[in-house]
């Protein structure tokens, strides 16, 4: 997006199903798993650049040897930093023991990150400082192997306060009031209870240390997850590893956050995106399966796996922003969906340019909008094909007219490109806008001044600030008669609380547009009424029942809001329009979004229809915060 937003993290779980020696012998390196994990994470680095972490567990190493390894980093290139450290570990250990490079037993007893169970995490911080303590994986330690828990996740919980109070009621003393800590401690608590349940069942029958193995063989992780997650409200794909080698990936009941897996006789691998698995293991997309909502993929200490329901699934509402923007378009399904999003915009675009394609130039920004742009171009070609057929059927008398009809193509140009060498590090308000304006380069001398209309496709218009402060001014210097900004996503009207960093309503240009429309039409009382309803609902504990903020948008049509957005993003100087070209904005409709992405109906940011009760609580709280001037997260 031209207005970048932080979003869902990325997860990886890799389980080697054969002895460590097998991979050394077959692939000629003790770094087979590390190399695969690196590739899986690099192919998902779009999902998180604030930090990265890796954890590894060895199976069946003798007592007295470390069996859990973990590295985390918040450096500028955290994935490279983490794996650079892992490689240094191997290089240092083998420097004086080169003859041991293919000896699995020696490696596992003397070198870290030589285990069979691996976890990787890429962090996009939606809250909390960007320091190492907020970086996954998180580790809960114990001297009992079966009580150790390592966790990472792609999640946000809307009811952290409830979960925190639950931990306190259980007798715990959580070290922080954040969902990462509360989720891990809650699962850890019930893992402890499951250990105790199995211990009580078998004590007196078996003696230590045999009892430890019996406990590990009889722990029920499905039961642990059921007891832990039944009061979670949020979107999540959580990956966990126990100290004895069993692992899991648990997905929320609405399937909000993504998780996919592939398994063969050598590995079981889970990732947030299918292309990462496809690239790392060179498998067909048809072999990659989706972890079902409300289910956990559980892999036991022996490498056997299965999907198990741990919470009752509800209507699937997987995040449509994954399809529009977040996930890589190399996934064939996502690629086709994004093309369809662009194609479905064509009727609105033709109407806006008055069907004058001869004097219209089409482009896109940023690069991630390219796929939707291709779909739009295909839609324009279809329209022209129908026009050619109509002209021929109606009969054209002059050869030159027929030549023009048959040869005409949409005018496509690369008008804007981002200069990756420039970084907007200047933070003072007086100079930052100037720096932002120069992050982009423009292609000159392809627009006929005062004649052509420019149509630019964007993934989504979130805040509108980059359009206002740089892109529109830059396009205006080309001399067009009109600039049309086209969003492949619908109007973002409501905050997200399941993973995306969109928690404050004032940030959304569509929300600001509605406030101006209410004011212009003497309807400010609606905002006051919504505020009063939301305050009462929050104070009475009923804020989860209804999204009152929807009422702000009810008086206005989709097109009215789009026109007001165009007015807001039009640059001004001293309250006077400071742009020569006329500006228009086109948004995707929600109806067409569902046509393009029929299997991913999570649309709460556009419609306010949240998949969990906590979403209603968050949106009501976010509006109350806005009305009271509080610039804080609503969850």
Is the four-CA dihedral 385, 386, 389, 391 of positive or negative sign?
negative
> Considering just the CA atoms, what is the radius of gyration of the chain in Å?
28
- What is the percentage of the chain residues whose pLDDT exceeds 90? 72
Query: pLDDT of 134-186, one tens digit each?
Result: 889 999 999 999 999 999 988 888 877 777 677 667 776 666 656 677 888 89
Q: How far is it, in rounded angstroms, from Cα 192 to Cα 406?
A: 74
Q: Structure tokens of 396?
A: 């054209």
- pLDDT score at 436: 53
Q: Which residue has the higher pLDDT, 446 or 355?
A: 355
Task: Identify which has the larger pLDDT, 450 or 425.
Answer: 450
pLDDT of 442 over the 80 cut: no
Q: Is the pLDDT of residue 355 over 70?
A: yes
**Rounded CA gap, 633 and 495, in Å?**
10
Residue 245 vs residues 143, 216, 499: alpha-carbon distances, Å = 15, 9, 28
404 pLDDT band, cuts 50/70/90, is: confident
Instruction: Provide the pLDDT confidence category of residue 350 given band limits of 50, 70 and 90.
Output: very high
How far apart CA 7 and CA 500 sit, in angstroms, is 4
| Residues 539-560, mean pLDDT to the nearest whole number | 97
Least confident range of 43-52, 222-231, 520-529, 589-598: 43-52
Least confidently predicted of 44-48, 53-57, 370-374, 382-386? 44-48
Mean pLDDT of the chain: 90
Alpha helices in 219-322 (DSSP H): 221-229, 274-281, 320-321
Tell me the three state secondary structure of residue 474.
Answer: helix
Give the pLDDT band (50/70/90) at residue 330: confident
Q: Looking at residue 152, what is its pLDDT?
A: 94
Measured CA to CA, the distance from residue 615 to residue 547 in angstroms comes to 8
Residue 429 has pLDDT above 80, yes or no: no
pLDDT of 11 strictly over 50: yes
Residue 70 gets the label, from left (phi > 0), alpha (psi -120 to 50) or beta, of beta
pLDDT-based confidence at residue 325 (cuts at 50, 70, 90): confident
Comparing CA positions, the residue from 79, 65, 159 lying closest to residue 112 is 65
* Segment among 64-73, 287-296, 343-352 with least mean pLDDT: 64-73
Q: Which residue has the higher pLDDT, 442 or 19?
A: 19
pLDDT confidence tier of residue 422, bands split at 50, 70 and 90: very low
Instruction: Compute the distance between CA of residue 52 and CA of residue 78 in angstroms, rounded to an integer.
Output: 5
What is the pTM assigned to this prediction? Answer: 0.91
Hunting for tokens 């289910």 — which residue is that?
295
240 φ, ψ (degrees, to nearest 5): -135, 145
Rounded-to-integer distance, Cα 245 and Cα 58, Å: 7
For the residues 245-262, what does the mean pLDDT come to? 97
Q: Give the separation between CA 553 and CA 27, rounded to whole angstroms.
A: 59
Q: What pLDDT shows up at residue 178?
A: 64
The confidence score (pLDDT) of residue 74 equals 92
Three-state DSSP string of 350-381: HHHCCCCHHHEEEEECCHHHHHHHHHHHHHHH
Predicted confidence at residue 368, as pLDDT, reads 82
More confident residue, 103 or 402: 103
Q: What is the mean pLDDT of residues 393-397?
A: 68
pLDDT tens for 461-498 read 988 888 888 899 999 999 999 999 999 999 999 999 88
Q: 127 pLDDT exceeds 90?
A: no
Query: pLDDT-derived band of residue 421, with 50, 70 and 90 as boundaries?
Result: very low
């Amino acid at each position: 997006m031209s207005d970048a937003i932080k979003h869902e993290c990325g997860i990886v779980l890799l389980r080697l199903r054969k002895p460590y020696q097998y991979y050394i012998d077959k692939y000629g390196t003790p770094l087979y798993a590390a190399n695969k994990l690196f590739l899986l994470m690099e192919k998902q680095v779009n999902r998180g650049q604030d930090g990265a972490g890796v954890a590894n567990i060895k199976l069946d190493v003798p007592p007295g040897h470390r069996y859990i390894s973990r590295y985390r980093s918040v450096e500028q290139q955290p994935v490279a930093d983490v794996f650079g450290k892992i490689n240094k570990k191997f290089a240092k250990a083998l420097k004086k023991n080169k003859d041991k490079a293919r000896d699995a037993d020696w490696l596992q007893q003397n070198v870290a990150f030589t285990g069979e169970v691996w976890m990787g995490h890429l962090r996009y911080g939606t809250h909390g400082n960007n320091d190492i303590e907020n970086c996954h994986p998180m580790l809960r330690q114990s001297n009992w192997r079966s009580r150790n828990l390592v966790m990472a996740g792609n999640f946000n919980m809307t009811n952290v306060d409830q979960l925190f109070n639950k931990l306190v009621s259980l007798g715990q003393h959580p070290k922080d009031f954040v969902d990462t800590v509360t989720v891990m401690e809650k699962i850890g608590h019930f893992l402890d209870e499951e250990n105790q349940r199995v211990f009580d069942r078998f004590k007196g029958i078996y003696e230590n240390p045999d009892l430890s193995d019996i406990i590990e063989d009889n722990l029920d992780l499905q039961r642990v997850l059921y007891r832990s997650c039944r009061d979670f409200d949020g979107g999540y794909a959580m990956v966990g590893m126990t100290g004895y080698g069993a692992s899991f990936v648990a997905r929320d009941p609405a399937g909000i956050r993504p998780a996919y897996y592939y398994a063969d006789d050598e590995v079981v691998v889970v990732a947030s995106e299918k292309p990462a698995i496809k690239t790392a293991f060179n498998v067909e997309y048809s072999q990659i399966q989706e972890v079902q909502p409300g289910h956990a993929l559980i892999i036991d200490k022996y490498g056997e796996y299965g999907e198990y329901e741990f919470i009752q699934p509800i209507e699937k509402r997987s995040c449509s922003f994954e399809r529009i923007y977040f996930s890589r378009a190399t996934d064939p399904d996502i690629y086709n969906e994004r093309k369809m999003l662009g194609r479905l915009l064509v009727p609105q675009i033709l109407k806006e340019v008055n069907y004058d394609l001869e004097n219209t130039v089409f482009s896109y920004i940023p690069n991630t909008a390219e796929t939707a742009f291709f779909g739009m171009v295909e839609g324009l070609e279809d329209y022209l094909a129908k026009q050619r057929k109509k002209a021929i059927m109606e009969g054209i008398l002059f050869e030159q007219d027929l030549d023009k009809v048959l040869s005409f193509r949409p005018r496509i140009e690369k008008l804007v490109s981002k200069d990756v060498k420039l970084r907007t590090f200047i933070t003072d308000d007086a100079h930052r806008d100037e720096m932002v304006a120069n992050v982009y380069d423009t292609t000159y001398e392809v627009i006929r001044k005062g004649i052509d209309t420019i149509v630019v496709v964007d993934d989504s218009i979130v805040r509108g600030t980059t359009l206002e402060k740089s892109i529109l001014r830059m396009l205006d210097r080309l001399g067009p008669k009109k600039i049309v900004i086209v969003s492949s996503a619908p109007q973002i009207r409501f905050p997200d609380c399941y993973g995306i960093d969109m928690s404050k309503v004032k940030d959304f240009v569509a929300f600001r547009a509605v406030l101006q429309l209410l004011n212009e039409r003497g309807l400010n009382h609606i905002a006051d009424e919504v505020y009063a309803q939301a305050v009462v609902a929050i104070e009475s504990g009923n804020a989860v029942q209804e999204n009152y903020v929807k009422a702000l948008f009810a008086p206005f049509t989709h097109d009215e809001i789009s026109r007001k957005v165009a007015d807001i993003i039009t640059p001004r100087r001293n309250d006077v329009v400071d742009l020569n070209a006329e500006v228009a904005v086109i948004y995707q409709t929600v109806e067409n979004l569902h046509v393009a992405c029929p299997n991913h109906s999570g649309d709460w940011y556009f419609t306010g229809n949240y998949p969990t009760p906590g979403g209603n609580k968050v949106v009501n709280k976010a509006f109350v915060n806005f009305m009271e001037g509080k610039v804080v997260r609503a969850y």
